[in-house]
Amino acid sequence: MTAPAANPAVTTREVPFAVLLAGLLALFSLGTTVPWYLGLGVSAGVVAAATWIRARVPDPGREVAGVLVLGAFVVLAASAAPTPGPILLGGAASLALLVWYAEDPRETPGGALRAAPSLLIAVFVLSVGTVSAFFLPSRNAVVGIAAGLFVFSIVLLSVFFGRPDLLDRNRAANP
């Protein structure tokens, strides 16, 4: 007789993505008015907790992991300076979040590679925002374009989360 299967643990294939997300979120926090020690603690703690939740919590509660990370983004973005540095780091951290989210521990390995075509849209949006942040003359234009790109990315994410088959056509069946 075999022992029942244990809950899946955090695997080694998702650790690099979690470290990348925590590192970029911590760098983003340094460009905000949040004290550096609090920003670094929140970044590391939220990503660690979210990674643990994704690996250990059963299906109905797993969505809390994404909400935790998005909550940290909201807190940090609300206190970020509208300068090119934090805008660039926030965009890079957002891309890291999408890659981290694509590499689900309960799916077959390679989720980030399978999601690469969809992630290219987000990379394009980030590149447009970065170019506009560095080359447009006024601060108001940077904030306006960043707000427009933010709205566009939220609409795009809502479409992708509403239709997960668009993101990952080769999705494995969950047990």
Q: For each of the chain's 175 residues, which pLDDT tens digit applies?
A: 444 444 455 566 678 888 888 999 999 988 888 888 998 998 999 999 988 888 887 777 777 888 888 888 888 888 888 777 888 888 888 888 888 888 777 676 677 777 777 787 778 777 776 776 677 665 555 566 666 777 777 777 777 676 666 556 555 555 5
Token output for 163: 């239709």
Number of H helices, E strands in the chain: 8, 0
Provide DSSP, 57-124.
S-GGGTTHHHHHHHHHHHHHHHTB-SSHHHHHHHHHHHHHHHHHHHS-TTS-S-HHHHTHHHHHHHHH
**Which pLDDT score is estimated for 46?**
92
User: Residue 23 class from Cβ within 10 Å (0-12 exposed, 13-18 middle, 19+ buried)?
Assistant: middle
Q: Burial-class residue 80 by CB neighbours within 10 Å (0-12, 13-18, 19+).
A: buried
Residue-range domain boundaries for the chain? 15-110
Sign of CA dihedral 114, 28, 54, 11: positive
What does the pLDDT read at residue 1? 41
What does the alpha-carbon distance between residue 36 and residue 43 come to, in Å, rounded to a whole number? 10
The pLDDT score that the predictor gives to residue 164 is: 62
User: 66, 78 in Cβ contact below 8 A?
Assistant: no
